[in-house]
Structure 1
Amino acid sequence: MLNVGIIGTGNISDTHLRAYLDASDEVRIVALSDLTLERADAKREAFALTEARSYADVEEMLGAEDLDLVSITTPPSAHREVAVRALEAGVDVIVEKPMAPSLEDCDAMLDAQRRSGRLLSVIAQNRFRDEMMVLKAVLDSGELGPVSHARIASEWWRGLSYYDLWWRGTWASEGGGCTLNHAIHHIDLALWLLGSPQAVAAMMTNAQHHNAEVEDLAVAILQYERGLAELTSSVVHHGQQQEIVVQAERARISQPWSVVAETAQPNGFPTSEGDSAFVAELDAFAESLPRLEHTGHAGQLRDVIAAIRDGRDPLISGEDGRRALELVTAIYAAAIERRTIDLPIPAEDPYYRAGTLEARAPHFFEKTASVASQDGGITVGGSSDTVAPPASATA
């Protein structure tokens, strides 16, 4: 039985708590920590964690409890410090996305993980969705041929009050806008499905949120050896339609699952019927794939639990979290400097270091409100994945 602690008791911690409670045959939640002890107590009471203890100091919790694993669900600016402390205390760590605001922070966390020999995983729960597993399996099969183009739409909508929460809306505390904190899901998926691009060009703006310094809309072009991908990161899109469309040599596949395959007439124009046999073959292959027993956060946290139990690496590592942050950093650098950014980003590049974004990024507007907490549920994955806290929980 693994002893688990939660560091940070805002809304996203609810998702971790539910996943751990669902795996109560393998883990028990023994401690919760938050800068405000009352918030930790409220969360403990909301989830009826009668045997867990609350702390206002992470060091105190790490020293007092016999912990095997912690979930870090603090604002991104605190991830590095808290993760390094936990790893150095000999505790395995799973940290919410994004891994950290800078590559320098990511590498400090990875160094601590290597020194300690402990496990470090970064949340990328959308890999644990059946429709994403289907895309991955079809692409990995090689049946489609080389990829020509991908369109990745990370399109969300958030009202003005979204950025009133104290840590959101500034480069210093949030680390970025929708590219870092929303499109990180699809950026991880793009890297998982397509691999790392060679270069990035991008533009960004703040189109609708005059109470935030950070961007609420960005469009990036990713260059691969032969193909291209376009990524839209947004919190201004009504309808919140997230989509991945991959155009390859033999067919187009997309999420939600759909297949189209053209064939050519002698003059090169498409035939009217297309390659119906290949479409049927891909549909049958997709249908034959096993479905996941646990999806989203529950799927990833169960993988981490199994990795600890079996002494193996988790399916999603700290290195995966760093790769996603590197692509985010390249998008920001390209948009700010108005030039193409080559990957990988070396340690001597200014954008590798913590503080560069805060110093160089435009403040589209100044943050005009700062509240300690907010009521309401949160959207954590696809547009249908809404998480509402228990009625008695604080936001």
Structure 2
Amino acid sequence: MSERNYRAAIIGTGAIAHAHAQAIQETRGRVSLVAVADVDAGRAAEFAATYGGAARAYASAEELLRAEELDLAHLCTPPQTHAPLACACLEAGVTALIEKPPTLSLAEFDALAEAERRTGARVATVLQHRFGPGAVRLRRMADAGDLGRPLLATCVTQWYRDEAYYAVPWRGTWESEGGGPTMGHGIHQFDLLLSVLGPWREITAMAARQARAVDTEDVSMALVTFENGALATVVNSVVSPRQTSGLRFDYEHATVEVEHLYGYTDDDWTVTPAPGHEDVLTLWDKDRSEEASGHAGWLAAVLDALDQDRPPPVGTADTRRTMEFIAALYASAFTGERVRSGQITADSPFARRMDGTGAPWRNA
């Protein structure tokens, strides 16, 4: 497989942009950072000097897209800007690599997917925990039948975000973030859950505003059934002082677990075989790695796909399943009803906005 050199830009130079820039550096020449844009021109110039050497700095994405010949654009801006910026990239023939959440609603995501089909350019969402060695190994062993049938899973994102965190104007509102920890924090863990267990069938959920002075929820919980018969619980929180990110999968032949915070290595995984299935440990340990989950592994997978003229991971089809899961969780939480996959059609209020008919505390 021949490797190309890709010309990339980073749009938005806040905290997460540094992870993207470092991932570009770790490609060792497969990607060149040629341009940077930020509404704060001084910050853009400083960022370009730090990571891009000769990279040019722009005060707007529009100016950058007009001036540069690009292959990739990393979108690291606040969530409400993701969809319009991604569409602008597609119109320019540039692959859009979008930080989570990719859009504010399912309808907005479907419009983005239509723009991808119309232009022939590509979109991928940054859901990097799928690409750590442990997750790759787990999916491979599960697909090979080494673990037996999946029976039960638990997925928790219990983080802590204080009032100072929500003092940033675009945080904590449906209009700017699209949702609370379900949308912007837990998405990493339950996206990994979905990537392992496959299509979900139905969801029953709750959401509450427990402690933060925000418009969105600060806690949500869900019970999920999957097409393969597995059952799962999903918890998302930003009010948990002891922070953790965890996944546990109980298969017929073993329990496979990972607990970390913002990224894992093989040392964060444990495997407990069922009696008589100790060979699972041998299979798990065969390909141990020192690599951490993160943006570098995700970007390498994107580049490998583009080198082979394949759609990059996580593409629109995969991401839509995760976005539909979020919409269904909110719909169940706010209506008190069980929601099935495919039930949220284009005319549903929960397709147009994640809060749909309105959060129950809105008028309290």
Q: Decide whether aligned partners of structure 1 residues 66 and 339 sit closer, same or farther in structure 2, where only a CA change above 3 A counts.
A: same
Q: Is the 8 A contact 1:336 1:362 kept in 2?
A: yes
State the partner residue of 1:236: 239
Residue 204 in structure 1 maps to residue 207 in structure 2: yes
Query: 1:246, 1:253 within 8 Å by CA — same for their partners in 2?
Result: yes
Query: Residue 32 of structure 1 corresponds to which residue in structure 2?
Result: 36
For residues 48-92 of structure 1, the C-alpha deviation after alignment (integer angstroms, 9 at most, x for no partner) is 534122222222111111111100111111111000110111111
Q: Structure 1 residues 32, 16: CA separation in 2 closer, same or farther (over 3 Å shift)?
A: same
1:190 and 2:184 matched: no
Mean Cα displacement is larger for which, 288-297 or 306-315?
288-297
When normalised by structure 1's length, the TM-score is 0.83
Identify the residue that residue 219 of structure 2 maps to in structure 1.
217
Identify the structure with bigger relative contact order (alpha carbons < 8 Å, sequence gap 6+): 1
**1:251-297 deviations in Å (ceiling 9; x for gaps):** 322224333355xxxxxxxxxxxx1x41x211100011363867410
Partner of 2:337: 339
Structure 1 window deviating more from structure 2 (218-227 vs 12-21): it is 218-227
Please state whether the residue corresponding to 1:357 is helix, strand or coil: coil
Aligned equivalents of 2:126 and 2:140: distance in 1? 21
**Structure 1, unpaired ranges of 5+:** 263-274, 367-395
Q: Percent of aligned pairs with the same residue?
A: 34
1:257 to 249, 255, 269: 269
- Residue 348 of structure 2: aligned partner: 349
Which moves more between the two structures, 177-186 or 289-298?
A: 289-298
Question: C-alpha distance in 2, partners of 1:209/1:124?
Answer: 26
2:95 corresponds to: 92
1:161-189 CA-to-partner distances (Å, cap 9, x unmatched) read: 11111211111101110011011001211
Counting only pairs closer than 5 Å after superposition, residues 83-122 of structure 1 correspond to structure 2 as 83-122=86-125
| Structure 1 CA distance for aligned equivalents of residues 221 and 110 of structure 2 | 27
Q: Does the residue aligned with 1:245 lie in a helix, a strand or coil? A: strand
Separation in 1, partners of 2:215, 2:361: 4
Q: How does 1:47-62 map to 2 (within 5 A)?
A: 47-62=50-65
SS at match of 2:81: helix
Equivalent pairs, count: 349
- 1:144 maps to 147
2:166 to 163, 166, 169: 163
8 A Cα contact 1:214 1:363, kept in partner: no
Match of 2:324 in 1: 326
**Secondary structure at 1:172 match in 2:** helix
- Structure 2, unaligned runs of 5 or more: 259-267
* Cα deviation code 1:309-339 (max 9, x no counterpart): 3312223212222211110111111111111
Are the structure 2 counterparts of residues 51 and 359 from structure 1 closer, same or farther at C-alpha, using a change threshold of 3 Å? farther
Structure-2-length-normalised TM-score? 0.90
* Equivalent-residue separation in structure 1 for 2:301 and 2:149 (angstroms): 31
CA contact (8 A) 1:205 1:364 kept: no
The alignment partner of 2:337 has SS state of coil
User: How far apart are 1:99 and its partner, in Å?
Assistant: 1.4
- Counterpart residue number, 1:304: 302
